[in-house]
């Protein structure tokens, strides 16, 4: 073979390789999300599973609340250099280790980032990255978990189906437990507002401020924001719609499995000073007698302190939302700054945020919430507003494939797979009816984000709960597993059948 022939063959191979490389580069350029400028620097997202949807994972919305920033209001984001590729979810707030069974198995935990006090991150799913003129509605999700566990990127909270409906979905992590809600006299003395606690709520408000300032970069409308949450997340929504600090940062609110009037999880009955005194007693006992020592203590030490104190002093189980005995504050309180009064008081005196509401619960929830939800809806009607009531009544299917105890019935949190239409992440043997029901629910939630009405801009079968029309939307399947949602009265709980042999343990949410 002559040298000329060899050169020709080499040149053909070189041209082929260059062409292939150019094709890959062009394809990458077409699929890469635009680089956006947000508070702190530049970010670039990655493609979601659904075509045309981009997800931005783990964007910081405040400085890490560690060291001297432990138990302080969220501070401005620490700027970064270059482009942050937002392809990994941020740390969940610090919490207990999870073990197989029940909610762990339900949600498919195991691939999340390590828990940390450094947890102030949010995620955005959007169909319109970089299109600042799109002005799509924004749905701002607050996870549950008793204010002591959970995170915004759990598998059931996959936001891409919302984005496919033309809604920009934002989910956040916030400070949990003692790190998010400790009240203490020295912390109050240090604060320019003279209060302490409610740091987790301030995180949520800071996230809403971030949305206000940055969401247009993702194609969202900062003036069309729906806040929604479930269980403790629903309790957080209750606090936000009362808080003067959150006013003007949202336009609709959805409260899921967090009660209505006279039965929800409002602020603590004790005064701020009483709560501060009780917390100080526990910290002083541990030798953490001033702020320097409190902030220097290890994360694990602070987290375990209530349990250790209760055990050593024979005080019974450490408290919290479901426990007994002494406990460092682990939930929102009425502090006179972030929260001025309880949700019920604000509803009654008319100071609650004047926005459209949706409120509901599941058939086998943490109690029958029918009366409290009905009372809230009638209160909204009396105040010249509207509220839509619902019940999720689909007992989840079980194929017996799991080797650990699993949750049964239409249990507390079972509706989350359907609201997010995230069924593909679950091991359960879904039917076509389940997928149709999920489509029904996510369409209603998306419509509410867009229009303040779950039916859409022109109304429809789901009417507000009123004195003249006191009905809930019941999300359910029929006996043939076909989608059969309809207006009606809430169905009775099947809890005894769902939890045979014994009363259930306190749910995690």
Q: pLDDT tens across 79-91, in order?
A: 999 999 999 999 9
Is residue 119 over pLDDT 50? yes
Asked, for residue 247, whether it belongs to a domain, the answer is yes
Average pLDDT of the residues in 33-62:
97
d(CA 80, CA 133): 27
Torsion angle, alpha carbons of 145, 146, 148, 152, to 10: 30
**Residue 318: its pLDDT value, please?**
54
Asked, for residue 325, whether it belongs to a domain, the answer is no
Mean pLDDT score across all residues of the chain: 90
The token pair that represents 358 in the structure block: 């949706």
**Residue 317: its pLDDT value, please?**
54
**What is the SS3 assignment for 337-404?**
CCCCCCHHHHHHHCCCCCCCEEEEEECECCCCCHHHHHHHHHHHHHCCCCEEEEEECCCCCCCCCCCC
Bridge partners of residue 116, in order along the sequence = 93
**Residue 24: its pLDDT value, please?**
37
Is residue 158 over pLDDT 60? yes
**Residue 460: its pLDDT value, please?**
93
**Residue 29: its pLDDT value, please?**
38
What total of structural domains would you count in the chain? 1
- In this prediction, what percent of the chain has a pLDDT beyond 90? 81
**Residue 456: its pLDDT value, please?**
96
- The pLDDT tens digits of the residues spanning 19-29 come to 444 443 333 43
Question: In sequence order, which ranges of 257-369 are alpha helices (DSSP H)?
Answer: 272-285, 291-296, 299-312, 343-349
The token pair that represents 8 in the structure block: 């020709």
Is residue 13 over pLDDT 70? no
Average pLDDT of the residues in 221-234:
98
Asked, for residue 311, whether it belongs to a domain, the answer is no
Average pLDDT of the residues in 385-402:
96
**Residue 104: its pLDDT value, please?**
85
Asked, for residue 402, whether it belongs to a domain, the answer is yes
| Among the ranges given (49-53, 355-359, 372-376, 401-405), the one the predictor scored with the smallest mean pLDDT | 401-405
Enclosing domain of residue 215 = 35-269+333-498
Is residue 502 over pLDDT 50? no
- The pLDDT tens digits of the residues spanning 310-365 come to 999 877 555 544 444 568 999 999 999 999 999 999 999 999 999 999 999 999 99
d(CA 244, CA 266): 16
Asked, for residue 163, whether it belongs to a domain, the answer is yes
Only one residue has tokens 């109690």, namely: 367
Burial, 275: exposed, middle or buried (Cβ in 10 Å; 0-12, 13-18, 19+)?
A: buried
- The pLDDT tens digits of the residues spanning 405-434 come to 899 999 999 999 999 999 999 999 999 999
Asked, for residue 494, whether it belongs to a domain, the answer is yes
**Residue 316: its pLDDT value, please?**
59
Contacts of 411 (CB under 8 A, 6+ apart): 362, 364, 365, 396, 498, 507
Is residue 40 over pLDDT 50? yes
Q: Are strands 486-488 and 472-475 parallel, antiparallel or unpaired?
A: antiparallel
Average pLDDT of the residues in 166-180:
98
**Residue 493: its pLDDT value, please?**
96
Asked, for residue 328, whether it belongs to a domain, the answer is no
Residue 151's CATH number: 3.40.50.1820
The larger pLDDT score, comparing residue 97 to residue 69, is at 69
Rounded to 10°, the helix 232-242/199-214 angle is 70
- In this prediction, what percent of the chain has a pLDDT beyond 70? 88
pTM of the predicted model, to two decimals?
A: 0.90
DSSP 100-155: SSHHHHHHT-SSSPPPBS---EEEEEES-TT-TT--EEEEEEE--STTTS--TT-G
Asked, for residue 284, whether it belongs to a domain, the answer is no
């Amino acid at each position: 073979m002559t040298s000329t022939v060899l050169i020709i063959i080499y040149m053909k191979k070189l041209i082929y390789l260059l062409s292939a490389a150019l094709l890959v580069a062009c394809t990458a350029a077409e699929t890469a999300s635009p680089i956006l400028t947000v508070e702190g620097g530049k970010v670039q997202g990655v493609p979601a599973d659904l075509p045309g949807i981009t997800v931005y994972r783990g964007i910081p919305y405040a400085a890490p609340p560690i060291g001297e920033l432990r138990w302080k209001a969220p501070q401005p984001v620490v700027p970064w250099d270059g482009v942050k590729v937002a392809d990994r979810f941020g740390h969940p707030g610090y919490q207990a280790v999870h073990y197989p069974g029940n909610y762990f198995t339900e949600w498919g935990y195991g691939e999340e980032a390590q828990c940390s006090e450094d947890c102030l991150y949010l995620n955005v799913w959007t169909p319109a990255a970089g299109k600042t003129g799109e002005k799509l509605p924004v749905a701002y999700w607050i996870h549950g978990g008793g204010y002591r566990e959970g995170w915004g990127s759990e598998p059931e909270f996959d936001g891409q189906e919302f984005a496919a409906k033309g809604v920009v979905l934002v989910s956040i992590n916030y400070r949990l437990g003692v790190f998010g809600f400790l009240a203490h006299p020295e912390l109050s003395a240090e604060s320019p507002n003279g209060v302490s606690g409610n740091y987790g709520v301030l995180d949520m408000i800071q996230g809403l401020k971030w949305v206000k300032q940055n969401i247009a970069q993702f194609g969202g409308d900062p003036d069309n924001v729906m806040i929604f949450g479930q269980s403790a997340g629903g309790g957080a929504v209750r606090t936000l719609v009362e808080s003067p600090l959150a006013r003007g940062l949202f336009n609709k609110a959805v409260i899921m499995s967090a009660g209505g009037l006279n039965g929800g999880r409002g602020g603590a009955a004790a005064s701020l000073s009483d709560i501060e005194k009780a917390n100080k007693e526990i910290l002083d006992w541990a030798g953490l007698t001033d702020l320097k020592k409190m902030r220097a203590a290890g994360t694990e030490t602070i987290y375990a302190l209530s349990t250790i104190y209760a055990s050593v002093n024979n005080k019974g189980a450490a408290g919290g939302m479901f426990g007994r005995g002494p406990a460092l504050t682990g939930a929102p309180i009425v502090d006179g700054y972030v929260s001025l009064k309880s949700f019920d008081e604000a509803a009654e005196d008319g100071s609650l945020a004047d926005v459209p509401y949706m409120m509901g619960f599941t058939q086998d929830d943490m109690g029958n919430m029918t009366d409290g939800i009905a009372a809230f809806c009638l209160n909204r009607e009396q105040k010249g507003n509207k509220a839509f009531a619902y019940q999720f009544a689909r007992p989840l299917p079980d194929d017996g494939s799991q080797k650990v105890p699993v949750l049964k019935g239409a249990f507390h949190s079972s509706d989350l797979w359907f609201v997010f239409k995230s069924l593909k992440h679950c091991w359960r043997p879904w039917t076509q009816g389940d997928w149709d029901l999920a489509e029904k629910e996510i369409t209603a939630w998306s419509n509410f984000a867009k229009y303040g009405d779950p039916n859409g801009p022109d109304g429809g079968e789901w009417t507000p709960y009123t004195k003249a029309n006191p009905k809930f939307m019941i999300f359910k399947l029929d006996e043939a597993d076909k989608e059969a949602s309809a207006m009606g009265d809430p169905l009775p709980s099947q809890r005894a059948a769902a939890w045979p042999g014994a009363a259930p343990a306190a749910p995690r949410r």
